[in-house]
């Protein structure tokens, strides 16, 4: 039976969480740079989501009579050498790269967090083996590793996802593990153990919340790296394949015709730079906001 006191506690808890969130958002917008980063990220996410409704043309729609047009009211970013609307391609490419980098980041964070928690909490030979394994993965530069993998798997969207999910979890796991190592020395973990709490409770209800701040920042950073890596692979021609409106691929294709249709190169290159800068500024803001909260 629910007592009045219980209800009050529930309400208080909800209100506390609400205040925390407002405080967090305020923290994020406290500094202009991180506010800008957040706005860029939100705009990017909205574009990715609503892209199909926003884009005036299909990504690969060829407008025969309008190839190589400079930016104008009809084609905001101009058309490329084959007569495709660059604005539409950039907009529709946002979803592709958002999904790919986003999914890659999400999976990497989930896997990395799980491994980091276990590795940090248990320690011992498991920790030792895992960390040496991660060392070996991390000792190879991400792009080189990606090229090696794609050389084996063959270039495709799925392969790029595989690359992200193999390259990034070790980095996330390291961050999580380092937080867990410090945290598990604290007395609340020791008392939870003494009380005979289940390991899963200690891992996911007590240690995991302590990891959140570091994890949020790490996830944002991973996301921006993932965008950069995906675009780089597209540019090198080993990632997403034509005629997908992948930004890196668009830069590569436009490179051949840059003297005649430079806008087809500038806009996708510009948005890659913009989103990477935006997410990084936001990650910086996240760190500040979460620290302020503590």
Partner 1 sequence: MFPKNKFTLVAFALLTLSALIIAGCSSDYAAIANQNSADQVVQEDQVGGVILRVANHPIVQTDPALISSDSEVFVANAVYDYLVDVDARSNLVPRLATEWSVSEDGLVYTFTLAENVSFHDGSPFSAADVVWSFDRLRDPELGFASSSLYSNIVSIEAAGESSVVFTLESPNPFFLYDLSDNHALMIKNGTTDAGDFNGTGPFTVVEYNPEDRIILQANPEYFIAGQPLLDGVEIIFFPDDIAMIDALRGGQVDLVMRMSTALFESLQTEDGIETVAIPTNGFDLIRLRSDREPGNNPLVIEAFKRATDRQAILGLVHQGFGAVGNDSPIGPLYDSYHDASVSPASRDVEAAKALLADAGYPDGIELTLHVPDSGSRPDLAVVLQQQWAEANIFVEISVEPESVYYGENGWLEVDLGITGWGSRPYPQFYLDVMLVSGAEWNEAHFADAEFDALAQIAGSTLDEAERIAAYSQIQQLLVERGPVIIPYYFAQFGAINTAFAGFELKAFPGRTDLRTIFQP
- Find the helix or strand (DSSP H, E) in which 127 lies: helix 124-138
User: In angstroms, rounded to a whole number, what is the distance separating the alpha carbons of residues 261 and 87?
Assistant: 14
Residues 6 or more apart in contact with residue 210 via CB below 8 angstroms: 179, 180, 183
Nearer to partner 1, 84 or 95 (CB): 84
Whether the ω angle into residue 115 lies within 30 degrees of 0, i.e. cis, is no
Closer residue to partner 1 in complex, CB, 96/284: 284
CA distances 28 to 18, 33, 51, 290, Å, are 15, 10, 26, 9
Q: How far is the CB of 213 from partner 1 (least distance, A)?
A: 16
Residues forming beta bridges with residue 79, ordered by sequence position: 85
Query: In angstroms, how far is the first alpha carbon of the chain from the final one?
Result: 35
CB of 83 to partner 1, least distance (A): 6
Nearer to partner 1, 117 or 269 (CB): 269
- Taking the C-alpha atoms of residue 94 and residue 221, their distance in angstroms, rounded to an integer, is 18
Residue with Cβ nearer partner 1 (121 or 134): 134
Q: How far is the CB of 118 from partner 1 (least distance, A)?
A: 25
**H-state helical runs in 237-294:** 247-255, 263-293
Of 62 and 111, the one with the shorter C-beta distance to partner 1 is 62
Whether the CB-CB separation of 277 and 34 falls below 8 Å is answered with: no
State how far the Cα of 281 lies from the Cα of 271, in Å rounded to an integer.
Answer: 15
Measured from the CB atom, the residue of 24 and 266 that comes closer to partner 1 is 266
Euclidean distance between CA atoms 208 and 106, whole angstroms = 16
Return d(Cα 196, Cα 263) in angstroms, integer.
64
Least distance to partner 1 from the beta carbon of 47, Å?
19
CB of 93 to partner 1, least distance (A): 15
Binding interface with partner 1 (CB under 8 A): 60-62, 64, 67, 81-83, 141-144, 221, 224-225, 228-229, 237, 241-243, 251, 253, 255-260, 262, 265-266, 269-270, 272-273, 276-277, 280-281, 283-284
Q: Which is nearer to partner 1, 67 or 103 (CB)?
A: 67
Work out how close the CB of 198 gets to partner 1 at its nearest, in angstroms, rounded to a whole number.
Answer: 37
In sequence order, what are the beta bridge partners of 85? Answer: 79
Give min distance, CB of 196 to partner 1, in A. 42
């Amino acid at each position: 039976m629910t007592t009045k006191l219980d209800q009050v506690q529930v309400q208080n808890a909800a209100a506390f969480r609400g205040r925390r969130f407002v405080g967090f958002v305020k923290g994020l917008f406290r500094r202009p740079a991180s506010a800008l980063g957040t706005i860029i990220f939100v705009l990017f996410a909205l574009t990715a989501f609503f892209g199909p409704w926003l884009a005036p043309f299909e990504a690969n729609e060829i407008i025969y009579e309008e190839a190589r047009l400079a930016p104008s009211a009809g084609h905001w970013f101009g058309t490329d050498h084959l007569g495709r609307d660059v604005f539409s391609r950039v907009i529709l490419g946002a979803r592709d790269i958002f999904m790919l980098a986003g999914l890659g980041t999400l999976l990497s964070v989930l896997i990395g967090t799980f491994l980091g928690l276990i590795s940090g909490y248990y320690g011992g030979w498991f920790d030792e083996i895992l960390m040496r394994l991660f060392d070996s993965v991390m000792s190879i530069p991400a792009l080189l590793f990606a090229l090696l993998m794609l050389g084996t798997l063959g270039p495709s969207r799925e392969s790029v996802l595989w690359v992200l999910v193999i390259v990034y979890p070790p980095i996330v796991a390291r961050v999580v593990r380092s937080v867990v190592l410090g945290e598990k020395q604290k007395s609340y973990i020791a008392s939870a153990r003494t009380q005979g709490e289940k390991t899963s409770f200690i891992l996911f209800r007590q240690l995991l919340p302590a990891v959140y701040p570091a994890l949020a920042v790490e996830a944002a950073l991973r996301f921006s790296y993932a965008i950069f890596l995906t675009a780089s692979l597209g540019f090198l021609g080993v990632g997403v394949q034509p005629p997908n409106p992948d930004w890196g691929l668009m830069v590569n294709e436009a490179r051949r015709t840059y003297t005649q249709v430079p806008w087809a190169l500038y806009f996708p290159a510009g948005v890659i730079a913009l989103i990477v800068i935006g997410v990084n500024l936001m990650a910086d803001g996240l760190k500040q906001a979460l620290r302020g909260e503590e």
